[in-house]
């Protein structure tokens, strides 16, 4: 195999696929990146048997073929090379691979590409298309609420639940719940297309995070999703991400969301976030923050008081409904406020121990549900 | 005590003194920062019994006094406050201290300031003045060569050795040696000043690093140094750093520096540094890099060859003297090349196992000595 490509493009793409190469591979071949010549381009693949990433880049191919090279070492060398052309080549059947740039020459020992496991391919099955900006809204609005607890398997993923004309992203760790509703444009322009079949799937948070990073680098505008037998495949531009899906029934989270509220606050998101981030400095291991909602004065006081010290911040807000005192875990509140994309938000409440909904005013349809905690006296 | 000051100034100064507050204090009072009102300013002090830092800032003092507040917590709170004025106050004799900013109010519990240990003060003894730019040249050119091995006490510091009209900074860990000669301007303008007495002292690398950071923030142009009984005090602008000094006789490093050389290379520093940084990616635990100096072709090839892979880079250089092959520890070479401040450098050599000197062409008078290592066959 012999090809020449641009150092920057190779470096960028190696950075992407290396995210799917395990740091502690169970087999040596899983520590490599697979390089293939395909239709006048070079494809790069990283795969840890759960998450797979494939990208391609333009190259001048003198001799087609395939290579499996140590991913970390190759990435470090390419990253340090001067910009310009890089040539990678080996003699057929020889595992010693030579990398030549304007500055010098490097040689690495590759592995047998026949050992490289094939990425899952879904030949059949309907493809679901979405705008990337919608998909990213759904992903970012939900992923922070996934559980870190590996014993709660299904909760460590993001739930995608398609309904007629709507795709819902949801995640919950039992303390908070994030839901985003995406309304794709009507895609029935193509009369030959069969009507979209509903689907639901739970995708590991790790895979979704990598997808988020890749979409950030992509110039594509559409992403397609295909599902089959415990696998999901995303395609966009010249890139592909495959992931196993999580087994198990996702909890019926819609039951948690109250239909009516006795109180509603409208306020500036960044102002509350900044106040909570300051107050968090004096919070202790309980992470407890007290909210005193004063309906008469249209004020919200947030405060922390414990052995280390105490702090109080006061905000002018709009309140409908009666005054109320309640308490939250300050970390979950800060997480939610960081995710919400708008300047103004609403906080909807009933009693001091009933679910509270934080939502953006305008923009994407998003719900961040948080359970209050018992106030200490 | 009650004073009002600027949040940014307080934050910056707390950041500096907190570097001298131990993360694992042996006594609770050593986890605090001492705040004193002095002559219409506020002084801040951090002290871990070895390193002490004192700075001062402008403040509006309503009631003079002193406070000892938890350094880490105070630093975190002040860092997060909005810019503008901050007021810090307590009732006389009460350890509960209130911090008020435009956004909110915080309270912390301080400790008894009487317990705070006094920073070393040198009342007598001559003060040695230097330009800060000279001092920083000396510090940065030597500090990387200090030993990390705590069992070699005296080698973990930077040696300052004053001679008539010259101040020398030196450090060595046994593998490499950094020497910088500083020539202060003649300071005999003041006829009443007694002639400068020679001195020598070994200052812990940690203290010198903190000093480097502080000097980077300082607008002062002169630094003064005072010595006494195992203590050194540096003063510049409104800041002061005190440090214990290291005991023991510093080795006679000048004996290591060859007087004459059989070979000399002149080359572009950044070009060699970049080549070595690329080559270092394929180096193994031995860190060995081979130099092939070709006098006829006026070329230098640097290469690494081991089980992981191999790499070679070729540089055009000026060579006087005969061709030579030798080897170095690549890390020590890279360290040295990073320190040298000029574009062009010289590498002066004798045989393959004799000391090698790397020096800048022009600028500060600096010597980086490195021992070659045995070439493997």
pLDDT in tens, B105-116: 999 999 999 999
CB contact (8 A) between residue A76 and residue B309: no
Of B105, B109, B309, the CB nearest to A108: B309
Residues linked to residue B243 through DSSP beta bridges, in sequence order: B51, B232
Q: pLDDT-derived band of residue B307, with 50, 70 and 90 as boundaries?
A: confident
Give B248 to chain A, closest Cα distance, Å. Answer: 43
- Among candidates B76, B81, B281 on the partner chain, residue whose Cβ is nearest the Cβ of A80: B281
Alpha-carbon distance values, B101 to A216, A303, B81, B88, B89 (Å): 39, 15, 7, 9, 12
Tokens 């005969």 -> residue: B322
Crossing angle of the two packed helices A7-17 and A205-217, in degrees rounded to 10: 160
Residue-level pLDDT at B39: 85
* Closest chain A CA to residue B95: A309
Min Cα separation A14/chain B (Å): 16
pLDDT at A40: 86
Cβ A304 vs Cβ A351: under 8 Å: no
pTM of the model: 0.88
Please indicate whether, in this complex, the C-beta atoms of A107 and B274 are within 8 angstroms of each other. no
Determine the pLDDT at residue A375: 85
Q: Are the C-beta atoms of residues B111 and B68 closer than 8 Å to each other?
A: yes
Give the gap in angstroms from C-alpha B70 to the nearest C-alpha of chain A. 10
- What three-state secondary structure class fits B42? strand
Say how far apart CA A353 and CA A254 lie, in whole Å: 18
> Given A109, A278, A282, which is nearest B81 (Cβ)?
A278
Q: Quote the minimal CA–CA distance from A161 to chain B in Å.
A: 40
pLDDT in tens, B128-152: 999 999 999 999 999 999 999 999 8
A49: Cβ contacts below 8 Å, ≥ 6 apart: A26, A30, A117
Please, what is the end-to-end C-alpha distance for chain A in angstroms? 73
Q: Do A311 and B278 touch (CB under 8 A)?
A: no
Please check whether residue B64 is in contact with residue B93, taking contact to mean a CB–CB distance below 8 angstroms. Answer: no
Test B104 with A80 for CB contact under 8 angstroms: no
The contacts of residue A211 (CB under 8 Å, 6+ apart) are: A139, A234, A241
Q: Nearest CA of chain A to the CA of B317: how many Å?
A: 14
Vertex A321 angle, CA A319 and A322, to 5°:
100
Report how far apart, in Å, the C-alpha atoms of A305 and of each of A276, A282, A287, B201, B253 are.
13, 8, 11, 50, 59
Spatial separation of the C-alpha atoms in residues B200 and B198, rounded to whole Å = 7
* 3-class state of residue A243 by DSSP: strand
Which of A109, A310, A313 lies at the smallest CB-CB distance from B103? A313
Option in B77, B105, B282 nearest A312 (CB): B105
Write out chain B residues lying below 8 Å of A106, CB-based: 278, 282, 309-312
Cβ-in-10-Å burial (0-12, 13-18, 19+) of A196 comes to middle
Per-residue confidence (pLDDT) for residue A121, from 0 to 100: 87
Query: For residues A347 and A201, what is the distance between their CA atoms, to the nearest angstrom?
Result: 30
Question: What pLDDT score was predicted for residue A77?
Answer: 95
Please tell me which of the candidates A103, A106, A275 has its beta carbon nearest to residue B104.
A275
B202 — pLDDT class (breaks 50, 70, 90):
very high
Residue indicated by tokens 């700075």: B55
Closest CA relative to residue B97, chosen from A123, A376, A282, A87: A282
Low pLDDT (below 50) residues in chain A: none
Question: Alpha-carbon Rg of chain A, whole angstroms?
Answer: 25
pLDDT band (50, 70, 90) for residue B356? very high
Q: Which helix (H) or strand (E) holds B77?
A: helix B71-80
**Cβ neighbours of residue B249 closer than 8 Å, sequence gap 6 or more:** B154
Q: Which member of A277, A278, A309 has the closest CB to residue B107? A: A309
In angstroms, the separation between the Cα of residue A82 and the nearest Cα of chain B is 9
The count of C-alpha atoms lying within 13 angstroms of the C-alpha of A189, restricted to the half-sphere facing its C-beta, is 3
Sign of CA dihedral A226, A228, A232, A233: negative
Nearest CA in chain A to B70: A308
Which chain A residues are closer than 8 Å to B108 by Cβ? Answer: 282, 308-309
Rounded to a whole number of angstroms, the distance from the CA of A79 to the nearest CA of chain B is 9
CA distance A210 to B339: 38
Q: Could A77 and B104 be called an inter-chain contact, meaning their C-beta atoms sit closer than 8 Å?
A: no
Question: Which residue of chain B has the CA closest to A108?
Answer: B309
Please judge whether A309 and B108 are an interchain contact, meaning their C-beta atoms are less than 8 angstroms apart. Answer: yes
Residue of A30, A244, A15, A23 lying closest to A122 (CA atoms)? A244
Q: Which two structure tokens, joined as six digits, stand for B313?
A: 């880079």
Cβ-contact A203, A158 below 8 angstroms: yes
Q: How many CB pairs under 8 A join A and B?
A: 83
Q: Which two tokens stand for residue B131?
A: 């330009």
> What are the structure tokens assigned to B180, written together?
């910088």
Select from B184, B188, B189, B191 the least CA-distant residue to B165. B184
Q: How far is the alpha carbon of B80 from chain A, nearest alpha carbon, in Å?
A: 6
| Residue among B159, B360, B131, B194 nearest B267 (CA) | B360
* Cα separation, B215 vs B226, whole angstroms: 17
Q: In what order do the strands lie in the sheet with A127-131?
A: A66-70, A32-38, A41-47, A51-58, A239-244, A231-236, A222-228, A127-131
CB-CB contact of B29 with B82 (8 Å): no
Q: What confidence tens digit (pLDDT) does each residue in B147-193 have?
A: 999 998 999 999 999 988 899 999 999 999 999 999 987 555 555 55
Q: For A320, list phi and psi in degrees, rounded to 5.
A: -115, 140
C-alpha to C-alpha distance for B210 and B46, rounded to whole angstroms:
12
Nearest to B321 by CA among B349, B359, B300: B349
Inter-chain contact B82–A312, Cβ cutoff 8 Å?
no
Q: State the pLDDT at residue A184.
A: 82
- pLDDT tens readout for residues B321-335: 999 999 999 999 999
Question: Cα torsion at B122, B128, B132, B135 (round to 10°)?
Answer: -100
Task: Find the helix or strand (DSSP H, E) in which B9 lies.
Answer: helix B7-17
pLDDT at A328: 97
Mark yes or no for CB contact A313/B104 under 8 Å. Answer: yes
Q: How many CB atoms sit inside 10 A of residue A151's CB?
A: 7
Kindly tell me the burial class for residue A79, based on how many C-beta atoms sit within 10 Å of its own C-beta (0-12, 13-18, 19 or more). middle
Q: What is the pLDDT of residue B186?
A: 58
| Residue in A105, A108, A278 closest to B104 by CB | A278
Q: Do A282 and B309 touch (CB under 8 A)?
A: no
Tokens for B17, please give them: 């003194």
Alpha carbon of B115: minimum distance to chain A alpha carbons (Å): 20
Instruction: Give B89's pLDDT tier (boundaries 50, 70, 90).
Output: very high
Contact criterion met (CB below 8 Å) for A130 and A184: yes
Q: Please tell me the distance from the alpha carbon of residue A315 to that of residue A272, in angstroms, as a whole number.
A: 8
- The B-side interface with A (CB below 8 A) comprises 73, 76-77, 80-82, 103-109, 274-275, 277-279, 281-282, 308-314
Contact state of B311 with A109 under an 8 Å Cβ cutoff:
no
């Amino acid at each position: 195999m012999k090809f020449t490509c641009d150092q920057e493009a190779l470096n960028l793409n190696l950075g992407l696929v290396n995210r799917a190469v395990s740091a502690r591979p169970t087999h040596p071949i899983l520590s490599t990146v697979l390089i293939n010549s395909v239709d006048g381009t070079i494809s790069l693949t990283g795969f840890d048997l759960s998450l797979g990433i494939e990208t391609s880049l333009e190259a001048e191919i003198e001799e087609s073929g395939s290579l499996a090279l140590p991913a970390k070492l190759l990435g470090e060398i390419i990253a340090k090379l001067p910009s310009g052309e890089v040539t990678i080549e080996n003699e057929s059947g020889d595992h010693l691979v030579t990398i030549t740039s304007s500055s010098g020459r490097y040689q690495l020992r590759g592995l047998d590409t026949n050992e490289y496991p094939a990425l899952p391919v879904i030949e059949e099955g309907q493809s679901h298309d979405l705008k990337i900006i919608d998909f990213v809204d759904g992903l970012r609005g939900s992923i922070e609420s996934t559980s870190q607890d590996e014993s709660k398997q299904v909760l460590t993923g993001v739930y995608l639940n398609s309904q007629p004309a709507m795709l819902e992203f949801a995640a919950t760790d039992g303390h908070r719940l994030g839901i985003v509703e995406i309304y794709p444009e009507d895609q029935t322009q193509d009369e030959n297309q069969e009507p979209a079949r509903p689907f639901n799937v739970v995708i590991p948070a790790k895979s979704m995070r990598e997808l988020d990073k890749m979409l950030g680098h992509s110039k594509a505008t559409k992403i397609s999703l295909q599902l089959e037998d415990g696998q999901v495949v995303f395609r966009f531009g010249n890139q592909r991400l495959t992931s196993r899906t999580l087994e198990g029934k996702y909890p019926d989270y819609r039951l948690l969301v109250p239909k009516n509220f006795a109180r509603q606050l409208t306020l500036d998101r960044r102002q509350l976030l900044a106040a909570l981030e300051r107050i968090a400095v004096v919070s202790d291991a309980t992470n407890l923050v007290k909210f005193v909602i004063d309906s008469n004065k249209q004020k919200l006081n947030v405060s922390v008081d414990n052995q280390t010290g105490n702090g109080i911040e006061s905000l002018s807000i709009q309140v409908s409904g009666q005054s109320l005192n309640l308490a939250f875990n300050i970390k979950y509140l800060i997480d939610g406020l960081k995710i919400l994309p708008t300047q103004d938000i609403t906080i909807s409440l009933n009693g001091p121990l009933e679910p509270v909904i934080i939502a953006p005013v305008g923009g994407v349809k998003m719900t961040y549900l948080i359970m209050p905690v018992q106030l200490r006296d």
